[in-house]
Amino acid sequence: MDKLLIEGGTPLRGTVRISGAKNAALPILFATLLHDGPSRIHNLPRLADIRTTTVLLIELGVSVSTKEDRSAILDASGVHSVDAPYDLVRRMRASVLCLGPLLARFGRARVSLPGGCAIGTRPIDQHLRALEAMGADIDLKAGYIEARSPKGGRLTGGSFVFDLVTVGGTEQAMMAAALADGTVVLENCAREPEIGDLADALRSMGAQITGDGTSVITIEGVEKLGPMDHTVIADRIEAGTYMAAAALTHGDVLLMGARMEHLDAVISKMARAGVEVRREGDGLRVKHHGELHAVDLDTQPYPGFPTDMQAQFMALMTRATGSSTITEAVFENRFMHVPELTRMGADIRTRGNTAFVRGVPELSGASVMATDLRASATLVIAGLAARGTTEVRRIYHLDRGYESIEEKLSALGANVTRVSQ
């Protein structure tokens, strides 16, 4: 298993290109299953989760050809299986997103219940109930979801109100509804930019979708979809992570491709902490020197502060002047970074889903590891600002969601080395 060695203390300076958004690319890759022919996707990030997805799609019979320029052509005309086995689905929770497209196009699907990051129980009841509202018949048998459309034909129109805001549930329902026989109205939908990106990708195939970006999405099902041609948006969480790293190291970094309108909540908390973020050309410039101020935050569905930035912001708050209160309101059990940050000298106590962070004058390098993607990124950020050497172990989590992280950080002047074991 690879690890990263980080010699802390160098301010990050320079320019980093933000990759395509993992969380947009994953559902968009699965959406290619909806068309009986080729689709083209541009700006795919080079990540383990993208490879996991293409392996699953190939297993189902999709032919995948990836290009040097980060585009890929996926041809789903040869799909010969609607069965997504446990061995492939357990590697990544988002694999369950093949369910809606397979069911919509073939009238049936059998998909293993998912695995993924260890951040709480993460049920998929809302995905299944939304599909049932479109007439699907769903059974859970021996760890598998077995779904059928009415009489093995098309899903039907219907309406569904999500009990809670779910990104994956909204995406699953949108993809399934695209080929429904009738109109599907989804209420209390997630409004994340990745939902809008999936809607754009589906529209490029001829889907009739309105309301994405609001909490009510209406999909007029069509009988057939055509080829997709879509460019994935920039990854707002990767951008936010580099923002936190630049701020904590007192750096000055241009995030090329990052979009301010997707990062409002993060930028407003950064500003209150004393970090300067401004638009520059095709990206955002992040600068910080002097003191960081303590800021409180609660995670929320978009447009609130993203749960995927909670850990990284906490790293920032470990060095702030004063105390901050950070509440994780989206997932249970998403403080796995706390004991590791504490080992690096941070002063953090938790009670339930709230963390109380008291700023300390410095962090010190240590050997640390984390069990989820964003927690791992947080330890890297902390290591960049810490005195001495930090060893971040189990970095396969990082490789799931951050493209070439050690190369991008090294290009910004950081002293980071990957050690293969």
Residue numbers annotated as active site: 117
For residues 53 and 361, what is the distance between their CA atoms, to the nearest angstrom?
Answer: 43
* Residue with Cβ nearer ligand UD1 (167 or 381): 167
Helix (H) or strand (E) holding 323: strand 323-327
Number of residues this chain uses to bind ligand UD1 (CB under 6 A): 23
Q: Does the protein bind ligand UD1 through residue 23 (CB under 6 A)?
A: yes
Phi-psi map region of 158: left, alpha, beta (phi>0 left; psi -120 to 50 alpha): left
- Considering only residues 65, 164, 279, 291, which one is a binding residue for ligand UD1 as defined by CB under 6 A? 164
- Considering only residues 72, 311, 330, 386, which one is a binding residue for ligand UD1 as defined by CB under 6 A? 330
Query: What 8-state DSSP symbol labels residue 43?
Result: S
Query: Are 269 and 297 in contact, with CB atoms under 8 Å apart?
Result: yes
Q: Does the protein bind ligand UD1 through residue 72 (CB under 6 A)?
A: no
**Stretch touching ligand UD1 by CB under 6 A, among 244-252, 300-308, 313-321, 380-388:** 300-308
Half-sphere exposure of 303 (CA within 13 A, CB side): 11
* Residue with Cβ nearer ligand UD1 (253 or 305): 305
* Residue with Cβ nearer ligand UD1 (26 or 409): 26
**Stretch touching ligand UD1 by CB under 6 A, among 63-71, 160-168, 337-345, 383-391:** 160-168
Q: Does the protein bind ligand UD1 through residue 172 (CB under 6 A)?
A: no
For residues 341 and 345, what is the distance between their CA atoms, to the nearest angstrom?
Answer: 7
* Residue with Cβ nearer ligand UD1 (160 or 331): 331
For residues 121 and 118, what is the distance between their CA atoms, to the nearest angstrom?
Answer: 8
Write down the least CB distance from residue 52 to ligand UD1, Å: 11
Q: Does the protein bind ligand UD1 through residue 166 (CB under 6 A)?
A: yes
Helix (H) or strand (E) holding 369: strand 367-369
x-or-dash pattern for ligand UD1, window 112-131, by CB under 6 A?
A: --------x-xxxxxx----
CA angle 243, 245, 248 (to 5 degrees): 105
Write down the least CB distance from residue 122 to ligand UD1, Å: 4
Write down the least CB distance from residue 364 to ligand UD1, Å: 30
Q: Does the protein bind ligand UD1 through residue 95 (CB under 6 A)?
A: no
CA angle 241, 246, 252 (to 5 degrees): 135
- Considering only residues 242, 331, 335, 402, which one is a binding residue for ligand UD1 as defined by CB under 6 A? 331
* Residue with Cβ nearer ligand UD1 (130 or 414): 130
Which tokens sit at 365? 């390098």
Residue nearest ligand UD1 by beta-carbon distance = 168
Q: Does the protein bind ligand UD1 through residue 28 (CB under 6 A)?
A: no
Helix (H) or strand (E) holding 159: strand 156-161
Q: Looking at beta carbons, which pairs linking 241-244 to residues 24 or more positions away fall under 8 Å?
A: 241/309, 241/312, 241/374, 241/377, 241/381, 241/402, 242/12, 242/16, 242/18, 242/286, 242/408, 243/267, 243/270, 243/275, 243/277, 243/284, 243/286, 244/309, 244/312, 244/313, 244/315, 244/316, 244/381
- Considering only residues 11, 20, 100, 169, which one is a binding residue for ligand UD1 as defined by CB under 6 A? 169
Binding footprint of ligand UD1 on the chain (CB under 6 A): 23, 26, 93-94, 120, 122-127, 164, 166-169, 190, 194, 306-308, 330-331
